[in-house]
Amino acid sequence: MPSPIPLASGRDADVFALGDHRVLRRYRHPQDTGPEAAAMAHAGEHGFPTPEVHRAEGSELEMERLYGPTMLDAALEGRLTPEGTGRELAGLHARLHALPGRATGRLLHLDLHPGNVVLTPRGPVVIDWTNARDGEPDLDLAVTALLLALTGLCGPRPLAALAGACLDPYLRSAEGDPARLVNDAVALRRADPNLTLEEVSLLPRAADLVRRQP
């Protein structure tokens, strides 16, 4: 096996390249990656675009290596409009929620935002299924809308402007009611230890933006 080469870092995990075709996602804290791998496998088996998982063991996931910019990078560089970005996110949610359900409901991603979509030659592929679980699709919509609203309120300037501009197109295009379960989405985000104090304090304002649907 090739030696891991650092590729990217997030709030919870680091990603290493394992040659040209595979990556290793390694969490920095104890984590059972089995549920994440199972969610990706369920989605992929039913035609939803996810990376192929080769191994899930403890805090490590070995997956297909994807090539292409994230939707976030493409939008920040002007290759995607905020309108198109919002519509694409809503379309991905609609495809995901149309999949056959699992034992306890529809599969939810619960962290679908432009940074978690890679624009590959075969089309958009959704990554980072850490938070995936079964439940009501409106909760998935509420989480994405809340993330866009919150980033628009307190993100770095170029990112904040993009997120704010994407929110209304996303809300208009979403197949469901993002506002219905926004309080549940706030509770989920408030429990995230990675949020800053500023982000936590702005969650109510972000929720109000989601409720103000176009």
What are the two backbone dihedrals, phi and then psi, of residue 113, each rounded to the nearest 5 degrees? -145, 170
Tell me: do 58 and 88 sit in the same domain.
no
Q: Mark whether 87 and 188 lie in a shared domain.
A: yes
**Domain CATH code at residue 20:** 3.30.200.20
Structural domain tally of the chain?
2
Q: What is the pTM of this model?
A: 0.94
Q: Are 163 and 81 in contact (CB under 8 A)?
A: no
- Is a pLDDT exceeding 90 seen at residue 68? yes
Which DSSP letter does residue 30 get? -
Structure tokens at 148: 């866009």
54 and 114 share one domain: no
- Strand-pairing partners, residue 163, are none
- Same-domain pairing of 193 and 122: yes
Query: Same domain, yes or no, for 110 and 25?
Result: no
pLDDT tens digits, one per residue of 124-156:
999 999 999 999 999 999 999 999 999 999 999
Tens digits of per-residue pLDDT, 15-60? 999 999 999 999 998 999 999 999 999 999 999 999 999 999 999 9
Same domain? For 22 and 42 the reply is yes
Q: Token digits for 172?
A: 């208009």
80 and 146 share a domain? Answer: yes
Residues 55 and 89 both lie in one domain: no
Is residue 30 located within the same domain as residue 132?
A: no
pLDDT at 213: 72
Q: Is the pLDDT of residue 121 over 90?
A: yes
Could you tell me the residue range of the domain that residue 109 belongs to?
A: 71-211
For the record, the structure tokens of 160 come out as 């904040």
Confidence of residue 76 (pLDDT cuts 50, 70, 90): very high
Output the CA angle 186-147-193, nearest 5 degrees: 60
Say yes or no: 90 and 187 in one domain.
yes
Instruction: State the pLDDT at residue 105.
Output: 87
Residue bearing tokens 């208009």? 172
- Same domain (yes/no): 89, 155: yes
φ, ψ of residue 60 in degrees (nearest 5): -120, 140
